[in-house]
Structure 1
Amino acid sequence: MKQPQKPSEPPEEHNQELDFEQELLEVERSLAALRERYQQVQRDLRQQKQLQYKLYKLSQDKKPTPEIEAELRQIQQQLEVLEVCLESQLFSWRSIKEPFWQAIRFGGMGVIIGWILKSFAG
Structure 2
Amino acid sequence: MKPPKQSQPPAENPEPDFEQELEEVERSLLSLKERYNQVQRDRLSKAQWQQRLNQLNHNKHQTPEIKAELGHIKQQLEMLEVNLESQLFSWGSLKKPFWQAVRFGGMGVIIGWILKSCAG
- Structure 2: segments with no counterpart, 5+ residues: 1-8, 95-120
Q: C-alpha root-mean-square deviation of aligned residues, in Å?
A: 2.5
Give the superposition deviation at 1:19: 1.1
Matched with 1:83 is 81
Between the two proteins, the alignment pairs up a number of residues equal to: 88
CA separation in 2, counterparts of 1:11 and 1:69? Answer: 73
CA separation in 1, counterparts of 2:10 and 2:22? Answer: 21
SS class of match (1:64): coil
Among 67, 70, 73, the alignment partner of 2:65 is 67
Displaced runs of 4 or more, over 2 A:
9-12
Structure with greater helix share of residues:
1
Structure with the bigger RCO (C-alpha within 8 Å, sep 6+) is 1
Among 49, 55, 60, the alignment partner of 2:53 is 55
- The two structures have a TM-score, normalised by structure 2, of 0.65
- The two structures have a TM-score, normalised by structure 1, of 0.64
- Structure 1: segments with no counterpart, 5+ residues: 1-8, 97-122
Identity, in percent, stands at: 61
CA separation in 2, counterparts of 1:27 and 1:76? Answer: 39
